[in-house]
Structure 1
Amino acid sequence: MLNIKVKEFLEEKGFGDRLTEHAETIDTVEHAAQQIGCTESEIAKTLSFIVEEKPVIVVMAGDGKVNSSKFKAVFHTKPHMIPRDRVEDITGFQPGGVCPFAVPEGIPIWLDVSMKRFEYVHPAGGNEFTSVKLTPGELEKITGTQGWCDVCKGWEEELDESNCL
């Protein structure tokens, strides 16, 4: 079942045709890559953190892991993820379906540079059965992001210097 809020958001931005509904769950990076038919790295995982007692969303490549010192350099605090049982109340989406589209007003969205190496990335589409195929530039354009950040580790060895930043 499509998330109506996300579907309307994407249609308004001209990207409604990029929303795909999957037969099986895409609640993890591994499951999403299997259902979409891409590498795990190309999954744009959307993580929600608490920074200064407020929610912040960071979207990163599927192979990225949050680097505590890089996160602290950007957000001036250690990374603290929103507890799983509070994710839906705060973001409006259940864990496994959190996405950077149609989020509640006032939640800033950041995009990690780990995604810039791909032609397309695939964030969730509002639930654990939908995804959206976008270029990193399209993702930046439609999310109203605060900007690009560098808070991940683990993906650099795959970096193609000619395709980054």
Structure 2
Amino acid sequence: MSKKPVSGATPATSLLDQAGLAYTLHAHEYDADASAKGLQAAEALGAPPEQVFKTLMVLIDKTRPACLIVPSNKRLALKKVAALQGGKSASMMAPADAERLTGYKTGGISPFGQRKTSPIMLDASALEHETIYVNGGRRGLQCQIAPQAAARHFGWTVDSIAE
């Protein structure tokens, strides 16, 4: 399936519009049964997996939430994330907790426009690309955006957090 620009407001796109950041939306078929949603999105978009980023929610020391944005073909380096966030451990947040915190359904969690704010970290590999794809706020909707502009505007921490 090829990339196709779409429209449709979500809290994520509303925040990007308010911020004045340029982005393009791309819809794709969402496969609820896919074991790796980010890789499935990359394939559906016809984009390199290292350019399609997944949004993951974690808990630092079991109490502090954080939002991590990593390439779809990589794994999150939980120990490094914990250390960068001043903690001893990091664990994946339960899907129901991630949905409650962000206001988005799993598979559609965007780093933009979350219900409650938490620290956001972007894997440094994103800066190797002029644009990256991140979730646009619903399943099957990707937002193509310049990672440098988003990180700068929203004050994201940029570091190597994927392995």
- TM-score, normalising length: structure 2: 0.81
Decide whether aligned partners of structure 1 residues 6 and 80 sit closer, same or farther in structure 2, where only a CA change above 3 A counts. same
- The within-5 A match list for 1:1-165 is 2-15=8-21, 18-22=24-28, 24-25=29-30, 28-52=37-61, 53-75=63-85, 76-142=87-153, 144-153=154-163
Q: Deviations over 1:123-146 (max 9, x none)?
A: 01011121111122122134x134
Once the two structures are TM-superposed, the CA of residue 7 in structure 1 deviates from its matched residue by: 2.4
CA distance in 2, matches of 1:117, 1:124: 19
Q: Which runs of 5+ in 1 are unaligned?
A: 154-165
Gaps of 5+ in 2: 1-6
Deviation, 1:26, is 6.6
Aligned-residue CA RMSD (Å): 2.2
Give the 3-state SS of the residue equivalent to 2:137 in structure 1.
coil
| 1:33–1:6 Cα change, 3 Å | same
Q: Describe the SS at the equivalent of 2:50.
A: helix
Higher helix residue share: 1
CA contact (8 A) 1:88 1:95 kept: yes
Q: How many residues align?
A: 151
Cα distance in 1 between the residues matched to 2:97 and 2:135 = 18
Shift of 1:77: 2.4
TM-score by length of 1: 0.80
Q: 3-state DSSP class of the match of 2:56?
A: strand
Q: What's the CA shift for 1:119? A: 2.1
State the AA in 2 paired with 1:129: G
Q: 1:13 to 1:21 in 2, by over 3 A?
A: farther
Query: Quick one: percent identity of the two aligned structures?
Result: 21
Q: 1:16 to 1:129 in 2, by over 3 A?
A: farther
